[in-house]
Structure 1
């Protein structure tokens, strides 16, 4: 399955590259009482189509902030963020929500499936929130479930399926439609080792089929599925040998 990422024609910026995601000197600060906290400090990163990049670092190093900014959940204090060459650094809340719905898929440790919706309904939800009819959205969701070898679970609720199956449904929801930028925050954290390996295999397949992804993980064995690994400490990119200093 391929997930082409279209540009947002409502913005005046002209695409400058074919990279899936590009961060240019991104800094994010916030106030903590009288103190200014730097969550990200001058991060530059290029994510190519078909590339999976693992993000590692200690708690509080800026990993989640990096994902939030990459997925337009948050805006940089300075610097630029480009998705498919289009600048998304300073979108209105409505425009940012549209980018997320249409172009960016999130996968979380706790799955974040809607408990009152079936597997098919969860996967179809991003399409239904757009301009796709319920019937068309369900048809596409069933196609995704078939691809994931989960067609038999279409009408089951999250409480009726295993953790590994729930995470695969979440991946299907993240990639339905034209979205091909996948942001995964500890997607194997709630799974046992064997099930986690299965989820990583699925993520790798989706990237190899034309997606691109950032994977936050603290497990080297899961980071090994990525094409490369970057390391954060105190909001800054560091060399891998610095991890041990």
Structure 2
């Protein structure tokens, strides 16, 4: 069995609001292996999004450690963390976070170009990633020319381009209808099955059913977890 792509060990995150301390995460430990999708559920304000931000290097834990493929983020300077995020971690936001003045292909190619790839090779990889999510024909359209579901699939292509090993998705289906949500989850699940590791924050139990296991967060703590399933898609009538 391969080692975990993501490992959180006794992670705490405390925010200071004036004289008040707010503990967003309290002693969270979590490992996610290649080929595994973990869903995170819990009430609003429970710490789900903070967990993703810390796991992806977008926020720094107050205590504990975060490792991505064996690299401790706490041991890196900000530039090295940014490079690791760019090269190994794909982040999917609920509000897409696409650059409105760039086409779909240019949005997907952007992280590759920032990493030093040439324009032609970056575009080729971007179009391949768009093809993976069924949007190669929309490569030269701008975000405002795409539906919400298409924009989210562009965001997923951007998160997956370049063979990212860790995909973190924060309510990626929150603004989508059921049919489009399923299409988005199929794309995410396929990449995980191909060997990436994934964490999906969702408030919908039916979408958590796409994960291999579900953990529950309350008041910044992991309070429960479901047993791991061999093939979660069977519950939804999906073929392998």
Give the TM-score of the pair, scaled to structure 2.
Answer: 0.91
CA–CA distance in structure 2, aligned partners of residues 198 and 88 of structure 1: 33
CA–CA distance in structure 2, aligned partners of residues 149 and 159 of structure 1: 18
Structure-to-structure mapping, 1:78-89, within 5 angstroms: 78-89=63-74
CA–CA distance in structure 1, aligned partners of residues 51 and 101 of structure 2: 31
Structure-to-structure mapping, 1:1-245, within 5 angstroms: 18-239=3-224
CA–CA distance in structure 2, aligned partners of residues 92 and 81 of structure 1: 14
CA–CA distance in structure 1, aligned partners of residues 144 and 216 of structure 2: 35
Q: Which stretches in structure 1 are left out of the alignment for 5+ residues?
A: 1-16
CA–CA distance in structure 1, aligned partners of residues 19 and 45 of structure 2: 19
Q: Deviation per CA, 1:225-245, whole angstroms, max 9, x where unpaired?
A: 00000011000010259xxxx
Give the direction of change, closer, same or farther, for the CA distance of 1:84–1:240 in structure 2 (3 Å limit): closer
CA–CA distance in structure 1, aligned partners of residues 225 and 113 of structure 2: 43
CA–CA distance in structure 1, aligned partners of residues 148 and 194 of structure 2: 24
CA–CA distance in structure 2, aligned partners of residues 67 and 118 of structure 1: 27
Give the TM-score of the pair, scaled to structure 1.
Answer: 0.89
CA-based RMSD? 1.3
Q: Which moved more, 1:65-74 or 1:161-170?
A: 161-170
Contact 2:90-2:160 at 8 Å conserved across structures: yes
Contact 1:22-1:82 at 8 Å conserved across structures: yes
